């Protein structure tokens, strides 16, 4: 398996979060350990949300452009045929994807196929549905733009889980990341559930796994060991921040053309 070992490793907290420390994984402690991890994740989310709110709007906008320009210019993105991406939400203060999506969608030759999330229910269930234009999106109850289940002609949109061809890439949102590929989501479990399902589907069909690339403001990249994870958390293959691409997995080094360039050292 090309992914990092998905076992829970010892994690430690920063001073702000006290001295909580995992000391192994004995079965009779597993429940309390998980509770402690989820509690710690909640604390970290609160802290990161505060940090994000404090970023100056012009700096944020500069970072939004820088990250999207890096992706749009990258050979690994140019060669992508089918991918999933989130539709950014300003209120959530996540890296903007509007420029990225509109540039891809304005090429009506369908050079790239795009799938975006649609939340189906509160049980961590989201689908990735095909869109052909930005106008396909409407605001949901959380004020996130998403596609209706049917298109303008009333035909059901293609669900990536039912598509005949594999996707090459998933562009992920998140609240915080580290250089070992850990990702702190918003706590709904939507992405981890989807990633697990797509991973299993690709495996069954003998498809290459898609590259998992998260977009991050500089302030969202935390020191290693700070983000607590459980065995359900999917590590990302690479990060794109305004400073550039941070390849993490072997797959990222191979597919992003960054092998032996020294950029990742």
Ligand X SMILES: Nc1nc2c(c(=O)[nH]1)N(C=O)[C@@H](CNc1ccc(C(=O)N[C@@H](CCC(=O)O)C(=O)O)cc1)CN2
Ligand Y SMILES: Nc1ncnc2c1ncn2[C@@H]1O[C@H](COP(=O)(O)OP(=O)(O)OP(=O)(O)O)[C@@H](O)[C@H]1O
Chosen from ligand Y, ligand X, none, partner binding at 34 (C-beta under 5 to 8 Å by type): ligand Y
Closest by Cα among 188, 180, 253, 177 to 215: 177
Q: What is the C-alpha to C-alpha distance for residues 215 and 57, in angstroms, rounded to an integer? A: 17
In the block, which residue shows the tokens 């733009």? 145
Q: What is the C-alpha to C-alpha distance for residues 95 and 129, in angstroms, rounded to an integer? A: 21
Q: What is the C-alpha to C-alpha distance for residues 30 and 232, in angstroms, rounded to an integer? A: 14
In the block, which residue shows the tokens 């300003």? 90
Is residue 190 near ligand X by the rule CB under 6 A? Answer: yes
**CB closer to ligand Y, 94 vs 96:** 94
Is residue 191 near ligand X by the rule CB under 6 A? Answer: yes
Residues 208-227, mask of contacts with ligand X (x by CB under 6 A):
--------------------
Chosen from ligand Y, ligand X, none, partner binding at 117 (C-beta under 5 to 8 Å by type): ligand X
Is residue 43 near ligand X by the rule CB under 6 A? Answer: no
Chosen from ligand X, ligand Y, none, partner binding at 233 (C-beta under 5 to 8 Å by type): ligand Y
User: b or e along 69-92 (b: 16 or more beta carbons within 10 Å of the residue's beta carbon)?
Assistant: ebbeebebbeebebbbbbbbbeee
Binding site for ligand Y (CB under 6 A): 34-35, 38, 41, 124, 184-192, 233
Q: By CB under 6 A, name the binding residues for ligand X.
A: 49, 86-89, 92, 94, 117, 119, 126, 142, 144, 173, 185-186, 188, 190-191
């Amino acid at each position: 398996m090309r992914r990092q070992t998905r076992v829970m490793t010892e994690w430690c907290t920063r001073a702000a979060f006290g001295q909580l420390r995992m000391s192994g994984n004995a079965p009779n402690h597993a429940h309390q350990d998980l509770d402690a991890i989820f509690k710690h994740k909640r604390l970290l989310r609160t802290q990161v949300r505060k940090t994000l709110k404090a970023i100056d709007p012009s700096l944020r906008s500069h970072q939004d452009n820088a990250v999207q320009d890096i992706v749009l210019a990258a050979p690994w993105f140019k060669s992508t045929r089918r991918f999933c991406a989130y539709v950014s939400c300003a209120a959530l203060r996540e890296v903007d994807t509007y420029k990225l999506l509109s540039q891809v969608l304005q090429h009506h030759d369908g050079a790239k196929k795009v799938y975006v999330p649609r939340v189906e229910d509160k049980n961590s269930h989201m689908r990735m549905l095909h869109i052909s234009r930005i106008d396909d999106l409407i605001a949901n109850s959380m004020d996130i733009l998403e596609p209706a289940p049917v298109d303008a002609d009333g035909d059901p949109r293609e669900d990536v889980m039912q598509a005949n061809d594999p996707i090459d890439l998933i562009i992920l949102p998140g609240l915080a990341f580290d250089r070992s590929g850990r990702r702190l989501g918003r706590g709904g479990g939507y992405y981890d559930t989807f990633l697990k399902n797509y991973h299993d589907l690709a495996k069954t069909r003998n498809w290459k796994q898609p590259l998992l690339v998260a977009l991050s403001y500089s302030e969202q990249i935390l020191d290693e060991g700070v983000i607590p994870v459980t065995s359900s958390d999917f590590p990302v293959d690479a990060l794109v921040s305004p400073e550039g691409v941070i390849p993490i997995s072997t797959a990222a080094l191979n597919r992003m053309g960054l092998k032996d360039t020294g950029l990742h050292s």
